[in-house]
Amino acid sequence: MFERKCYEKLVEWKDRSRGRTALLVEGARRVGKTTLAEAFASAEYDAHLVIDFSKTTDEGRNVFRHHADDIGTRQRMLQLLPGVELPERRSAIVFDEVQRFPPAREMVKHLVADGRFDYLETGSLISIKKNTEGIVIPSEEDRVALRPLDFEEYLRACGRRLLAEEIRRSFEAKTALPDALHRQAMRLFDEYLVVGGMPQAVAAFVEDETFTECEREKRRILALYEDDIAKFGGGDSRRALAVFKGIPGQLSANSKRFNFSTLKRGLRYGDYESALDWLEDSHIVNVCRLCTDPNVGFRLAADESRLKCYMGDTGLLVSHAFADADENLEVQRALQFGRVSVNRGMLVENYVAQQLRAGGHNLFYYSWGEPAKDARSSKPRPREIDFLLTRGFSDAAGKLRVSPLEAKSTKTYSTVSLDDFARRFPKRTGDEFVLHAKQLKVEGKRLHLPLYMAHLL
């Protein structure tokens, strides 16, 4: 198993909860939920039992159906079926793929109250209506989201732990890495754009150090996602599939905003809202919504209908966007050698969105028009901030301020939107961030960070 930051959250839950709640690990398919839960249960408890509801027999399910009111009998039966002895208060039971048997999830309330064991659940599509109909979601259930490996986890997986630690030290000290290390980190960043953070794809790349098997793994995952959409999307499956297939084209446009009318003439956001919610709940996509009045509490001014739709993993986006095998190999070479013929901008912005979501940030952007400079023209000058963050501002005694962030895919760029944003909201604006392909640089409260530091924000 790769070292995952989420493991620390599981340890914190165990120490804090002490059996009073169950923990649900949710995330996209093939993101490593089962591996994480089993590794945690094995290392942190004297004994553990895994019940995989994608494989369990009717006999196993009947333990829950026929002994709903008899906790003691159910606990004995659960141990007898696989022949595992579970010492009380020193053991964990893992309900794997719990969305496939919702009654087990509903019973968590009573199992936790019994107090003999700790309970973990893993699931994909866990919030989908089909998987919650007819059951009461237990209030004794904590949740944690597992997402694809961020760049720091990727470096560790590739045996570059020392470089990962040096990048973190550089960020905290606000000093640039030595040029040789910066070049090395940028090369690995370019590599990460292609490989992405899906554990199976990373494992394939680490094993043979070529993109061939890694690409096969990513295509298997994309095919699985399309099957899931068709199978679980219900009446929205056709529209959800249209949104999913349309992501690369929408991100390749200059604005990167999702234009639903291009999918089918006459249809708008409202026609696709439930389909988009399905994709977001499944963790297949990351949605970035427009904030019309950027202040602390972005959701208070969110325009749900104006959004950008990113893939949950940038490596999957590369495979999704360049479906032809020969073309994909050329894209991989172009990214590795820094050629800009590829639409690097959409990949970089998708990457930043992925790192921010992995760090627990919800995604919002801000767009506006500055008045025309020329009195003879009434056309406003378009401005946009790629992402908005809320952070404590050192110049305001740590009070929360809005931190605008722009992602730059090339070494030559302007910061006119950041400049105008700071002038537009001088009292709201805290630290400003530019993620770019160059070295770290500090300019007052504006911090220019190498792209490989996005996960540290």
pLDDT tens-place string over residues 89-105: 999 999 999 998 888 88
Q: Indicate whether 5 pLDDT > 90.
A: yes
Number of DSSP helices (H) and strands (E) in the chain, helices first: 17, 14
State residue 74's pLDDT score: 62
pLDDT tens, residue by residue, 124-168: 887 666 777 777 888 999 999 999 999 999 999 999 999 999 999
State residue 372's pLDDT score: 87
Residue 167 lies in a domain: no
Please, which pLDDT band fits residue 373 given cuts at 50, 70 and 90? confident
State residue 374's pLDDT score: 78
Higher per-residue confidence, 418 vs 100: 418
Nearest CA to 6 out of 34, 48, 46, 29 is that of: 34
State residue 336's pLDDT score: 66
Q: What is the mean pLDDT of the chain?
A: 90
Domain that holds residue 56: 6-145
Q: Which residues share a beta bridge with 429?
A: 402
Please give the Cα distance from 132 to 122 (Å, whole number).
Answer: 15
Please, which pLDDT band fits residue 329 given cuts at 50, 70 and 90? low
Among 23-27, 237-241, 304-308, 326-330, the range scoring the smallest mean pLDDT is: 326-330
Q: In this structure, what token pair is assigned to residue 172?
A: 């905290």
Domain count, the chain: 1
Please, which pLDDT band fits residue 376 given cuts at 50, 70 and 90? confident
Summarize the confidence of residues 21-48 as an average pLDDT: 97
Q: Indicate whether 324 pLDDT > 70.
A: no
Summarize the confidence of residues 40-52 as an average pLDDT: 95
| Cβ-based neighbours of 384, under 8 Å, separated by 6 or more | 255, 365, 366, 367, 368, 417
Q: Indicate whether 286 pLDDT > 70.
A: yes
State residue 302's pLDDT score: 97
Q: What is the CATH number of the domain that holds 135?
A: 3.40.50.300
Q: Indicate whether 311 pLDDT > 70.
A: yes
| Cβ-based neighbours of 371, under 8 Å, separated by 6 or more | 380, 381
Residue 397 lies in a domain: no
Q: In this structure, what token pair is assigned to residue 196?
A: 């992405």
CA dihedral 398, 404, 405, 406 (to 10 degrees): -160
Residue 59 lies in a domain: yes
Decide: pTM greater than 0.85: yes
State residue 1's pLDDT score: 80
Scan for tokens 């209506």, then name that residue: 129
Q: Indicate whether 11 pLDDT > 90.
A: yes
Q: In this structure, what token pair is assigned to residue 302?
A: 């969110």
Q: What percent of the chain has pLDDT over 90?
A: 73
Angle CA(93)–CA(95)–CA(98) in degrees, nearest 5? 165
Nearest CA to 342 out of 355, 356, 329 is that of: 329
Q: In this structure, what token pair is assigned to residue 421?
A: 């944003």
Summarize the confidence of residues 190-202 as an average pLDDT: 96
Q: Indicate whether 337 pLDDT > 70.
A: no
| Residue 441: HSE in the Cβ half-sphere, 13 Å Cα cutoff | 8
Q: Which residues share a beta bridge with 142?
A: 23
Q: Indicate whether 425 pLDDT > 70.
A: yes
Please give the Cα distance from 343 to 346 (Å, whole number).
Answer: 6
pLDDT tens, residue by residue, 210-258: 888 999 999 999 999 999 999 876 678 999 999 999 999 999 988 899 9
Residue 19 lies in a domain: yes
Cβ neighbourhood burial of 79 (10 Å; 0-12, 13-18, 19+): middle
Please give the Cα distance from 415 to 411 (Å, whole number).
Answer: 12
Check: CB of residue 14 under 8 Å from CB of residue 111.
Answer: no
End-to-end CA distance of the chain: 26
Residue 412 lies in a domain: no
What's 288-354 look like in SS3? EEEECCCCCCHHHHEEEEEEEEEECCHHHHHHHHCCCHHHHHHHHHHHHCCCCCCCHHHHHHHHHHH
Check: CB of residue 400 under 8 Å from CB of residue 409.
Answer: no
Q: In this structure, what token pair is assigned to residue 415?
A: 């910061």
Residue 180 lies in a domain: no
Q: Indicate whether 173 pLDDT > 90.
A: yes
Residue 79 lies in a domain: yes
State residue 432's pLDDT score: 98
| Cβ-based neighbours of 141, under 8 Å, separated by 6 or more | 21, 22, 23, 24, 105, 108, 121
Residue 323 lies in a domain: no
pLDDT tens, residue by residue, 434-448: 999 999 999 999 999
Among 11-25, 105-119, 402-416, the range scoring the smallest mean pLDDT is: 105-119
Check: CB of residue 388 under 8 Å from CB of residue 406.
Answer: no
Which DSSP letter does residue 380 get?
P
Q: Which amino acid is at 347?
A: L
Q: Indicate whether 76 pLDDT > 80.
A: no
